[in-house]
Amino acid sequence: MDYLVFQLQAPLSAWGETAVGEFRPTANYPSESALLGLLAAALGIRREEDSHAALCKGYGFAIGVLASGRLLRDYHTAQVPGRVALKNRPHYTRRDEFNLPKNDLNTILSTRDYRQDAASLVAIQMRDGAPHTLNDLAQALAKPRFTLYLGRKACPPALPLNPQIIPADNAQTALHDYRQKLAERSGETVSAFERIVWGEGIESGMTHDLEVVRKDRLLSREHWQFGDRIEYIALASQGEQ
């Protein structure tokens, strides 16, 4: 079985969790919805297109967390239009939102969390009916149509994603083989995974130590609606070979 494996590393990343009020938390590894957004951007799929559901159904993901990074909390101010001003106006981008008279813009305060120097590897397995081959995804990640970022636009990757197709019996083996190749190329020692995380639709090759519910299952990209899914976690002692 083939897996597409690539790396995610940046000085800052932000993998949004459920937000309440003005607080915008982040997980310490990518959500499923964030990975789908990354693939969509690489393929050139715009936010208003209806192709996101097919991506969600077409692939399973496993994440090998190399470094959770350190928490950075930012006190943030931003301008936003009021709901009344946006009523019946298409606003797919921030530029659309700001295409209003200045009197219709408001200033809001928020606290936003980031992870500093986090690093992960991602393995993708195709499901039946996947809209793109793994090779198509690899080419898109190597030469993306839109700019890629790790959660927020202020978080560009520090390194190329270096996508590779790796034949393996399961995602665990694919992640370890990719990590070994990186170490051999750089001359560094093989770094250990803190944990390996996966959802449904991928052969992990492991039994999980933890099972959590995460609200990152894409329901509607147009309306920013997300549902619950089960996520499985194997801790470092099991994730090592």
Q: Which domains does the chain have, with CATH numbers?
A: 2-70+117-239 (3.30.70.2660)
CB 98 within 8 A of CB 81: yes
pLDDT at 171: 97
Count Cβ atoms below 10 Å from residue 65 Cβ, excluding itself.
Answer: 21
pLDDT at 239: 46
Residue pLDDT tens, the chain, 241 long: 999 999 999 999 999 887 777 888 899 999 999 999 999 999 999 877 778 888 889 999 999 999 999 999 999 787 777 777 777 777 777 777 777 777 778 888 889 999 999 999 999 999 999 999 999 999 999 999 999 999 999 999 999 999 999 999 999 999 999 999 988 887 878 888 999 999 999 999 999 999 999 888 877 766 677 789 999 999 975 545 5
Q: Give every CB contact of residue 224 below 8 A, 6+ residues apart in sequence.
A: none
pLDDT at 170: 97
SS3 readout for 129-173: CCCCCHHHHHHHHHCCCCCCCCCCCCCCCCCCCCCEEEECCCHHH
Tokens describing residue 6: 């690539």
Buried b (16+ CB within 10 A) or exposed e, 71-81: eeeeeeeeeeb
CA 237 to chain centre: 25
